[in-house]
Amino acid sequence: MVTLMLDPVFEIALRGGAACLLLAAAWHKVRDPIDFWKALAAYQLLSDGLARPVSRVLPVAEGALALSLIFFTGSALPVIGALLLLSAYGGAIAINLLRGRRELKCGCGGIGADQTIHWGLVARNGVLVVCMSVLLLPASTRALTWLDFVSGIFAIGLLAFLYAATEHLLRNAALLDHKGTHP
Protein backbone atom coordinates (compact mmCIF):
# COMPACT_ATOMS: atom_id res chain seq x y z
CA MET A 1 0.00 0.00 0.00
CA VAL A 2 1.28 3.45 -0.96
CA THR A 3 1.13 6.20 1.65
CA LEU A 4 0.97 9.75 0.35
CA MET A 5 3.53 11.99 1.99
CA LEU A 6 4.09 15.70 1.69
CA ASP A 7 7.55 16.83 0.64
CA PRO A 8 9.00 19.22 3.25
CA VAL A 9 9.50 21.99 0.66
CA PHE A 10 5.80 21.88 -0.20
CA GLU A 11 5.00 21.94 3.49
CA ILE A 12 7.20 25.03 3.98
CA ALA A 13 5.55 26.72 0.98
CA LEU A 14 1.96 25.90 1.96
CA ARG A 15 2.40 26.72 5.64
CA GLY A 16 4.26 29.93 4.83
CA GLY A 17 1.73 30.96 2.19
CA ALA A 18 -1.20 30.25 4.52
CA ALA A 19 0.51 32.13 7.35
CA CYS A 20 1.11 35.16 5.10
CA LEU A 21 -2.52 35.11 3.99
CA LEU A 22 -3.82 34.93 7.56
CA LEU A 23 -1.43 37.62 8.83
CA ALA A 24 -2.41 39.96 5.99
CA ALA A 25 -6.10 39.33 6.69
CA ALA A 26 -5.58 40.01 10.40
CA TRP A 27 -3.61 43.18 9.65
CA HIS A 28 -6.37 44.60 7.46
CA LYS A 29 -8.96 43.94 10.16
CA VAL A 30 -6.81 45.48 12.89
CA ARG A 31 -5.97 48.48 10.73
CA ASP A 32 -9.62 49.43 10.30
CA PRO A 33 -11.61 47.70 13.06
CA ILE A 34 -14.74 49.85 12.66
CA ASP A 35 -15.01 49.08 8.94
CA PHE A 36 -14.53 45.36 9.58
CA TRP A 37 -17.11 45.40 12.38
CA LYS A 38 -19.63 47.08 10.08
CA ALA A 39 -18.90 44.59 7.29
CA LEU A 40 -19.26 41.65 9.68
CA ALA A 41 -22.50 43.00 11.15
CA ALA A 42 -23.93 43.55 7.65
CA TYR A 43 -23.76 39.78 7.00
CA GLN A 44 -26.53 39.43 9.62
CA LEU A 45 -25.27 36.05 10.82
CA LEU A 46 -24.54 37.22 14.38
CA SER A 47 -26.69 39.09 16.84
CA ASP A 48 -25.96 42.80 17.23
CA GLY A 49 -24.41 42.10 20.62
CA LEU A 50 -21.98 39.52 19.19
CA ALA A 51 -20.83 41.26 16.02
CA ARG A 52 -18.48 43.72 17.75
CA PRO A 53 -16.70 41.22 20.05
CA VAL A 54 -16.38 38.69 17.23
CA SER A 55 -14.92 41.41 14.99
CA ARG A 56 -12.25 41.94 17.66
CA VAL A 57 -11.53 38.23 18.17
CA LEU A 58 -11.27 37.21 14.50
CA PRO A 59 -8.02 39.11 13.73
CA VAL A 60 -6.47 37.70 16.91
CA ALA A 61 -7.54 34.20 15.85
CA GLU A 62 -6.12 34.73 12.35
CA GLY A 63 -2.82 35.95 13.77
CA ALA A 64 -2.62 33.09 16.25
CA LEU A 65 -3.38 30.55 13.52
CA ALA A 66 -0.73 32.09 11.26
CA LEU A 67 1.94 31.85 13.96
CA SER A 68 0.80 28.36 14.91
CA LEU A 69 1.12 27.21 11.30
CA ILE A 70 4.75 28.33 11.37
CA PHE A 71 5.80 27.21 14.85
CA PHE A 72 3.70 24.08 15.42
CA THR A 73 4.45 22.18 12.25
CA GLY A 74 3.95 18.81 13.92
CA SER A 75 0.35 19.58 14.85
CA ALA A 76 -2.73 19.36 12.65
CA LEU A 77 -4.68 21.73 14.94
CA PRO A 78 -3.56 25.00 13.32
CA VAL A 79 -4.32 23.56 9.89
CA ILE A 80 -7.77 22.42 11.00
CA GLY A 81 -8.40 25.83 12.61
CA ALA A 82 -7.43 27.64 9.41
CA LEU A 83 -9.58 25.28 7.32
CA LEU A 84 -12.57 25.92 9.58
CA LEU A 85 -12.05 29.68 9.48
CA LEU A 86 -11.75 29.81 5.67
CA SER A 87 -14.78 27.52 5.35
CA ALA A 88 -16.77 29.75 7.70
CA TYR A 89 -15.86 32.84 5.67
CA GLY A 90 -16.85 31.13 2.42
CA GLY A 91 -20.05 29.84 4.02
CA ALA A 92 -20.99 33.30 5.30
CA ILE A 93 -20.58 34.72 1.80
CA ALA A 94 -22.56 31.85 0.24
CA ILE A 95 -25.43 32.23 2.74
CA ASN A 96 -25.77 35.91 1.95
CA LEU A 97 -25.57 35.33 -1.80
CA LEU A 98 -28.33 32.73 -1.48
CA ARG A 99 -30.33 35.34 0.43
CA GLY A 100 -29.92 37.65 -2.56
CA ARG A 101 -27.74 40.10 -0.63
CA ARG A 102 -25.10 40.84 -3.28
CA GLU A 103 -24.24 44.40 -2.30
CA LEU A 104 -22.40 43.54 0.93
CA LYS A 105 -18.75 44.50 1.27
CA CYS A 106 -16.74 41.30 1.49
CA GLY A 107 -14.72 42.43 4.53
CA CYS A 108 -11.77 40.51 3.09
CA GLY A 109 -9.24 43.32 3.29
CA GLY A 110 -6.26 43.67 0.99
CA ILE A 111 -6.60 44.26 -2.72
CA GLY A 112 -10.27 43.34 -2.76
CA ALA A 113 -11.22 45.41 0.28
CA ASP A 114 -13.81 47.43 -1.56
CA GLN A 115 -15.40 44.59 -3.50
CA THR A 116 -18.86 43.25 -2.88
CA ILE A 117 -19.52 39.58 -2.32
CA HIS A 118 -19.84 37.23 -5.29
CA TRP A 119 -19.54 33.52 -6.03
CA GLY A 120 -15.91 33.93 -7.08
CA LEU A 121 -15.03 34.61 -3.43
CA VAL A 122 -16.77 31.40 -2.37
CA ALA A 123 -14.82 29.49 -5.03
CA ARG A 124 -11.59 31.19 -3.92
CA ASN A 125 -12.12 30.04 -0.35
CA GLY A 126 -12.94 26.54 -1.59
CA VAL A 127 -9.66 26.40 -3.50
CA LEU A 128 -7.78 27.68 -0.43
CA VAL A 129 -9.41 25.00 1.73
CA VAL A 130 -8.47 22.25 -0.73
CA CYS A 131 -4.87 23.51 -1.02
CA MET A 132 -4.48 23.88 2.74
CA SER A 133 -5.97 20.45 3.40
CA VAL A 134 -2.86 19.00 1.74
CA LEU A 135 -1.08 20.02 4.95
CA LEU A 136 -2.96 17.24 6.74
CA LEU A 137 -0.86 14.68 4.87
CA PRO A 138 2.13 13.34 6.81
CA ALA A 139 5.36 15.11 5.92
CA SER A 140 8.34 13.24 4.59
CA THR A 141 11.25 13.05 7.02
CA ARG A 142 13.94 13.59 4.41
CA ALA A 143 16.80 15.88 5.40
CA LEU A 144 16.47 19.46 4.21
CA THR A 145 19.30 21.30 2.48
CA TRP A 146 19.88 25.03 2.14
CA LEU A 147 18.44 24.79 -1.38
CA ASP A 148 15.20 23.39 0.06
CA PHE A 149 14.85 26.41 2.35
CA VAL A 150 15.59 28.84 -0.49
CA SER A 151 13.09 27.01 -2.71
CA GLY A 152 10.49 27.13 0.07
CA ILE A 153 10.95 30.86 0.55
CA PHE A 154 10.64 31.52 -3.19
CA ALA A 155 7.57 29.29 -3.30
CA ILE A 156 5.97 31.34 -0.51
CA GLY A 157 6.60 34.49 -2.56
CA LEU A 158 5.17 32.83 -5.65
CA LEU A 159 2.04 31.73 -3.77
CA ALA A 160 1.59 35.25 -2.38
CA PHE A 161 1.91 36.69 -5.89
CA LEU A 162 -0.52 34.13 -7.30
CA TYR A 163 -3.04 34.94 -4.57
CA ALA A 164 -2.71 38.70 -5.18
CA ALA A 165 -3.13 38.22 -8.93
CA THR A 166 -6.19 36.03 -8.38
CA GLU A 167 -7.68 38.64 -6.05
CA HIS A 168 -7.18 41.30 -8.72
CA LEU A 169 -8.84 39.12 -11.34
CA LEU A 170 -11.78 38.31 -9.05
CA ARG A 171 -12.23 41.96 -8.14
CA ASN A 172 -12.10 43.10 -11.76
CA ALA A 173 -14.47 40.34 -12.90
CA ALA A 174 -16.94 41.34 -10.18
CA LEU A 175 -16.69 45.00 -11.17
CA LEU A 176 -17.28 44.18 -14.83
CA ASP A 177 -20.21 41.94 -13.94
CA HIS A 178 -21.64 44.63 -11.65
CA LYS A 179 -21.43 47.25 -14.39
CA GLY A 180 -23.05 44.86 -16.84
CA THR A 181 -26.09 44.18 -14.66
CA HIS A 182 -27.05 47.81 -14.02
CA PRO A 183 -28.25 50.22 -16.72
How many domains does the chain divide into? 1
pLDDT digits (tens, 9 = 90+) for 16-58: 999 999 999 999 999 989 999 999 999 999 998 999 999 999 9
Name the residue range of residue 135's domain: 8-176
Residue 116 is assigned to a structural domain of this protein = yes
Closest C-alpha to 163, from 8, 6, 10, 20 = 20
Average pLDDT along the chain = 88
pLDDT digits (tens, 9 = 90+) for 123-159: 999 999 999 999 999 888 888 888 988 998 999 999 9
Q: What is the pTM of this model?
A: 0.84
Residue 38 is assigned to a structural domain of this protein = yes
Residue 72 is assigned to a structural domain of this protein = yes
Residue 182 is assigned to a structural domain of this protein = no
Q: 121: burial class by Cβ within 10 Å (0-12, 13-18, 19+)? A: buried
Residue 134 is assigned to a structural domain of this protein = yes
pLDDT at 161 over 80: yes
Residue 114 is assigned to a structural domain of this protein = yes
